Amino acid sequence: MNKPINSPTWKSLANALRLELQEYGALLNLLNEQQGGILGRDPENLINLNLSIEKQIEMTNSMRTNRVKITGALALDEERPQSTPIGDLLDDLPDSVRPLLEALIDDIRAILDKLRTRARQNQMLLSRARELTEDILQTLQPQERIKTYGAGGKLSYKTGKAGGCIEANV
């Protein structure tokens, strides 16, 4: 049987999880908009969205840091190491609040999976768009661009000019 814990602590944790989930949702919405901008070939909108995404990532990181602090305080209240994962603390919570916290944690895990998927998709779309642009430029000016790969596998383009060769890493 679990022992009851300080209710302001678990309430703070529930609130922190809600806020973190909300910020992840806002980030997912921005990544969805970004994908629309990529597919819609709207570079100006993409620049603005990228700035918004960076700000949202900062906000999301702030919410996650806050939740980790609250989790650490809860762990200390339970005489456990401050680094105890949130999942390991659930058994110490009152039966009446455990389902709420488990649901919030599950929702966060699910949205993180969606975020990773969308970010990978957007990255692949942007990479493909860049490749297509480079192919078009190569077709228009074949003598001017040479695609190479560096030792680390990083793509670079060498541009032949009258005075030598200019290298641009991508």
CA distances from 55 to 58, 89, 108 (A): 5, 31, 19
Q: Tell the residue number behind the tokens 């922190």, with chain if given.
A: 16
Range 133-152 average pLDDT? 72
Compute the mean pLDDT over every residue in the chain, rounded to the nearest whole number.
85
DSSP string covering 94-108: -TTTHHHHHHHHHHH
d(CA 122, CA 37): 10
Confidence of residue 1 (pLDDT cuts 50, 70, 90): very low
Structural contact between residues 97 and 14, judged by C-beta atoms closer than 8 angstroms: yes
pLDDT in tens, 76-113: 888 899 999 999 998 888 888 899 999 999 999 999 99
Least confident span in 27-31, 38-42, 60-64: 38-42
Torsion angle, alpha carbons of 74, 78, 79, 81, to 10: -40
pLDDT of residue 152: 73
**64 CB-side CA count, 13 A:** 11
